[in-house]
Amino acid sequence: MSRKFIIVFVITTLFTAMVVGFSWIYLSQLLRQRLLWADETASQLTNQLEYAASKAVPDLTSSRVDTNNPKALRAAITNSLQNDTNLNDMLESVVGNSRIIYDAAIIDPNGVAILDTNPALNGKPVPEHAPLGVLRDAGFRRQLRMLYGPATVYDVSIGLELDRQEFGSVRVGISTVFLRNELTPKLQQAAFFSVVAIFCSLVLAAVVSNVALGPLKAISRNLDSASAGDLLPAESGSDDEVGLVSLKIAHLGRQIRDTNQIFSALKDNVEQVMTKLQDGLMLFTRDSRVVLVSASAEKFLGRPRREILGHTAEEIFSDGTVLGAVVLPAFQQQRPLVLYEFDAADGRRLQVSLDFIQEKGTPIGALLTMRDAESARRIEHEIELSRRLSASGRLTRGVAHEVKNPINAIVLHLQLLQNKLQQDDPDTRRHMDIIGNEIQRLDRVVQILVDFTRPRDLRLEDVDMRKILESVSVLAAPDAARHGVRVAQEFPDEVLMVRVDSDLMKQAILNLVLNGVQSMTAGGTLTLKARRDDEMILAEVLDQGCGIPPEAQEKIFELYYTTKGDEGGSGIGLAQTYQIMQWHYGSVEFDSIVGAGSTFRLRLPAAVAKPDRREEMMA
């Protein structure tokens, strides 16, 4: 069954259902209105008969009837009703002039007919019928069953009170046969028009649906052509929505063709790049199947690429090797690896990293990278050296600016000294002091430059970052107390091991803590935090100080730059922290809100702990 047929069928069914529903409602309302009319007609007749019966009773007080005898009184009234000409004529006219009235009667409380349209029933019990309200208030389908079922008489009655006493009731019977004869022509006419309306709706819905969905074939052909990369016409024959869709499909087809061309060229370029890469790269699909392998991956795995492409990670790696023991659990748990190092069988030190690729939160593949650790370290050392040289250049520019002012002052005062040495001037000593002070300041600036650019031999060791932060908290406590600042600590229970030079790392964090304390002029709480962030250790320093102005945030790590003005800031602490973090292959970043405080974050690679199982394998 085609989609077009399904859509046409659904639309036609909806149209038909709507028309059928409206027709059903119309017929039910028509039937209900006719039954209400019958009920009102019968009610009016019973009221008229009750009025006529009350007028037919004469004044019996002056007659020979014993009015104190209820039985004699009832017999006299019954005789009057039976012999009253007007009342008998009215009973006959009720049946003769109405198309729906079956009979009419005046009945005593015992159900015996006092006066009936059928004289043979006078003085005899009258069978009791269901009230017309049962038929009137029933549902549409039940009304039809009651009308077109066996012939039935329904009564409309009213109480009869004569001579201020309950005397009986007036009943008018309505036959379903008469109602059926009255209603059938009208119902047939309404049903005929409903059937015609349903048929017309079917035809109209089918025609409209077919016309509206007719262009789907042309659109389907255009989509097939676009997916095949064929060139579609740039213009459409119509300006309606279908024409616009056709134009968009043509545009999409051109984009697909261009994308295919770009992809083909990109694939060729990727193949060329992959053959020249020193790192072994393997690209996996969502189901862990290899779709791309670099040439260098062959030497790391010891297998040709043709034996790797198209196979899953479980088929390529063995759990009996160190690489397989690391990679396979990571694939099974969807857990990335960050620079895991191990000794290969040939004695080389290798690094492996595994990254899972996601698109809008959905995994679509993975990238496995294998590299020689020694080569990677050489490259990282060269990069770090270039960073240090760049930092030294920035520092040199800062020092040049700072040196310029002392030199100008020395030159100026030397000129004054030369002039005053020719005279016996008591101010000579003051000028000599100024020269000495400026020379000392110049010496300090130069010494800072020397210390900052001097290569350092890091004494690396595995240390718990929590202990470093605790030591910094102790060192900063006196200064924090003077400023009315409380130092709080928020650390997890797990060990956060990093490989750093403890003294330098303490100095880097202490610089941030002291800056935060000094910025909190109104006191408050400075918080030290630490936690694990994937394969990194994150340390945070949160203060409640004045914050860093936006215009200063890009410069705070430059040497000699300070926001403290005349308050004694040297502009060295943050630059030193930045340099120490670079030496440890880490990073420092911050968020700051003026008036609310700043948060500095230090990120360092977590120290790799090797399980005993892997040590046994490497052995």
Which class for 262: exposed (0-12), middle (13-18), buried (19 or more C-beta within 10 A)?
Answer: exposed
- Measure the CA angle with vertex 328, ends 362 and 332; round to 5°: 40
Q: Which strands form 130-131's sheet, in the order they lie side by side? A: 113-116, 101-107, 165-175, 153-162, 130-131
Low-confidence ranges of the chain (pLDDT < 50): 382, 385-386, 389, 610-619
Please name the residue ranges forming H helices in 70-175. 70-83, 85-97, 132-136, 140-147
CATH class for the region spanning 378-453? mainly alpha
What pLDDT score does 492 carry?
A: 93
Residues 6+ apart with CB under 8 A from 20: 194, 198
Q: What is the CATH number of domain 276-372?
A: 3.30.450.20
363 and 334 Cβ atoms separated by less than 8 Å: yes
Specify the CATH architecture of the domain 3-198.
2-Layer Sandwich (3.30)
What is 460-605's CATH number, 3.30.70.3270, 3.30.565.10, 3.60.21.10, 3.30.1360.30? 3.30.565.10
Secondary structure (H, E, C), 384-452 = HHHHHHHHHHHHHHHHHHHHHHHHHHHHHHHHHHHHHHCCCCCCHHHHHHHHHHHHHHHHHHHHHHHHH
Cα torsion 572, 577, 583, 587: sign: negative
Residue environment code for 99-135, b if the CB has 16+ CB neighbours within 10 A, otherwise e: ebbbbbbbbbeeebbbbbbeeebbeeebeebeebeeb
The one-letter code for the residue type at 394 is: R
- Strand, helix or coil for residue 521: coil
Which H or E element spans position 281?
Answer: strand 280-285
How do 362-372 and 349-359 pair as beta strands? Answer: antiparallel
Domains of the chain, by residue range, sit at 3-198, 276-372, 378-453, 460-605
Picking from 5, 4, 20, 7, the residue whose alpha carbon sits closest to that of residue 200 is: 20
378-453: same fold as 276-372?
Answer: no
Helix ranges restricted to H, 529-572: none
Reduced to 3 DSSP states, what percent helix, strand and coil does the chain have, rounded to the nearest 5?
Answer: 55, 20, 25
Q: Is the dihedral of CA 253, 255, 258, 264 positive or negative?
A: negative
Whether the full predicted model's pTM is greater than 0.75, yes or no, is: no
8 A C-beta contact, residue 304 and residue 298: yes
> Residue 20, SS3?
helix
Whole-Å CA distances, 603 to 302, 384, 543, 578? 36, 17, 18, 11
- The amino acid present at 462, given as its one-letter code, is D
Are residues 313 and 293 in contact, defined by beta-carbon separation less than 8 angstroms? no
Long-range own/partner contacts, residues 230-233 (CB < 8 A, 24 or more apart): 231/257
| Residue 69 contacts residue 75 (beta carbons within 8 Å) | no
Q: Which residues pair with 157 in a beta bridge?
A: 171
Per-residue pLDDT, 162: 73
Assigned token pair, 61: 């007080």
597-605: strand order across its sheet = 485-490, 524-533, 536-542, 597-605, 587-593
The 8 Å CB, 24+ separation contacts for 18-26 are 18/201, 19/194, 19/197, 19/198, 19/201, 20/194, 20/198, 22/197, 23/191, 23/194, 23/197, 23/198, 24/140, 26/190, 26/194
- Note the pLDDT tens digit of each residue in 317-328: 887 788 888 888
